[in-house]
Amino acid sequence: MSFYKYFKIKNTVTLFLLFSTITISGQTEQESIESLISRVVDYQIHQPMVPKREDRAFPNGWIPSTFYTALMDVYKVTGTKKYFEFAHEWAASNNYKLGPRPLHADDHCAGQVYLMLYDFTNDSTNLKDVFDTFDKMMNERSAGREIWDWCDALFMSPPVFAGLYKITNNAKYLKALNRYYWDAADYLFDREENLFYRDNRFFFKRSEIGNKIFWSRGNGWVFAGLVKIIDALPDENKHKEDYIELFKTLAKRLVSLQREDGVWSPNLLEPELYNMPETSGTGFFSYGLAWGINNGILDKSIYKVHAEKSWNALVKLVDDDGKLQYVQSVGHEPEHVSKANNSAFGAAALLMAASEFLKLESTDEK
């Protein structure tokens, strides 16, 4: 058989199979993503979201807050009313209150949901506790490295400051954000590896084989938090570029650590010691990469292949019921993860990523 005939037959078969797959499934790529979102939400909404620790067992804590932030992300893209209603009902059940610890970043995360709801309701009375808490916080003369001394905090609290600045245009919120954020980042960021330590316990701690320890989900919190901050700041704001530069620095480092199967390991520098996927960190990285491409911050020709690899890997790790597997449990350092592990913050990371991949696919189809 000539090469031309072989090539023609092979590609005809390939096109036939591709066409058959599309017509049998009846779904475009966007419809497939929306179907996945629905499945994940329907599964996760019925799972416990409150931590087991009694001193953290309150319904407006960081775990449900992260999940409902993600629901608002997908609502903004899909317009599916039930996502808004889930978030609104949850916020109302909390009386739009933040968590009970006024200076603890974890207890600020609910404010992100309330601010996102405000974008649609324009009801500022629901933000009273957010304003009161953050105004009092600014009266504290604490340094960023004192109040945000673990990298997860850079997702939980800073986007609320950015959101308050966005809706009020009051420079005091931006000034506080910059003061706290860059002091905390300077404290936790390793300039040799271009990654964030989880907290000061890891500054000098080393792994079994002598490497520095950089937690996947911890860096995922920082990466996703930067998306939220940058998104809230107007283009003309001179401070926005500082956050963009940090985001780009992290993105460049993260793609260099991505595994061939598209995921990142619990310990970013040691995939050989953690031979399993970890989907919460991977979800946040996937979200950030897709968002960066969609907003013209990351070069599509370089980063799209990494974003798509991570997204395709995540999709394969969602079971038929909508359960995202291989989510490392609540913790503060890399740990081995089992397939059965699932949590709302892992599902949230995937949903955030899905909201950006819907935009990415929409752009590609034009």
Q: How many CB atoms lie within 10 A of CB 304?
A: 16
Could you tell me the two tokens for 235? 């283009």
Q: Where are the alpha helices (DSSP H) in 79-169?
A: 81-93, 110-121, 128-139, 144-147, 153-156, 158-168
Set 152, 190, 199, 242: catalytic member = 152
User: Which of 231, 190, 249 is CA-nearest to residue 214?
Assistant: 190
Length of the chain: 366
55 is catalytic: no
Quote the CA–CA distance of 278 and 281 in Å, as a whole number.
6
Residues forming a β-bridge with 190: 195
Instruction: Write a three-state SS string for 236-305.
Output: CCCCHHHHHHHHHHHHHHHHHCCCCCCCCCCECCCCCCCCCCCHHHHHHHHHHHHHHHHCCCCCHHHHHH
Residues designated catalytic: 152
